[in-house]
């Protein structure tokens, strides 16, 4: 499984931690930047990650910025992305089961081990395919087509 990961400067340390740990578990992690703690603009990295998720160059994405909110908003501007900023494993599971999210986002201050468990939960949880969730996602897709 290929996982794309991206962050701004504030999320750099968490990105590096997650990348290292996921590699240990034999996930192929593609790093879309940033590559230092030098100040950058999160949308640049959000758009790069999101484009690669939509183009199926990676199976899922992980996005990190200071709060997790800005980068998730930027990711969601890319057609076909459903990115959720999460804080715990339950949210990670529900966003996959109910929303078929393809990118998970974090704020830099989340506990590193919790973030890792959230990512693992996210990528291992299948979409439920319940009719109500399919219907809702299709409404989002239809709106994107306008």
Give the burial string for 9-26 (b: 16+ CB within 10 Å, else e).
bbbbebbeebbebbeeee
Q: Token pair for residue 39?
A: 């100040």
Q: Where are the domains of the chain?
A: 2-145
Q: Which residues of the chain have pLDDT under 70?
A: none
Q: Token pair for residue 146?
A: 């306008």
Per-residue pLDDT, 146: 87
Cα(78)–Cα(30) distance, integer angstroms: 19
Per-residue pLDDT, 121: 98
pTM over 0.85: yes
- CATH code, residues 2-145: 3.40.1400.10
Longest dimension (CA), the chain: 45
């Amino acid at each position: 499984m290929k996982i794309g990961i991206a962050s701004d400067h504030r999320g750099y340390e968490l990105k590096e931690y997650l990348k290292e740990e996921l590699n240990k578990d034999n996930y192929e992690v593609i790093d879309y930047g940033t590559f230092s703690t030098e100040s950058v603009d999160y949308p640049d990295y959000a758009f790069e990650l999101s484009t690669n998720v939509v183009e199926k160059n990676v199976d899922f994405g992980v996005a990190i910025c200071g709060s997790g909110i800005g980068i998730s908003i930027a990711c969601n501007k890319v057609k076909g992305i459903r990115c959720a900023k999460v804080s715990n494993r339950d949210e990670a599971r529900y966003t996959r089961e109910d929303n078929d999210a393809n990118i998970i986002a974090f704020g830099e201050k989340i506990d590193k081990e919790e973030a890792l468990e959230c990512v693992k939960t996210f990528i291992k949880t299948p979409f439920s395919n319940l009719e109500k969730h399919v219907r809702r996602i299709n409404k989002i897709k239809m709106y994107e087509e306008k």
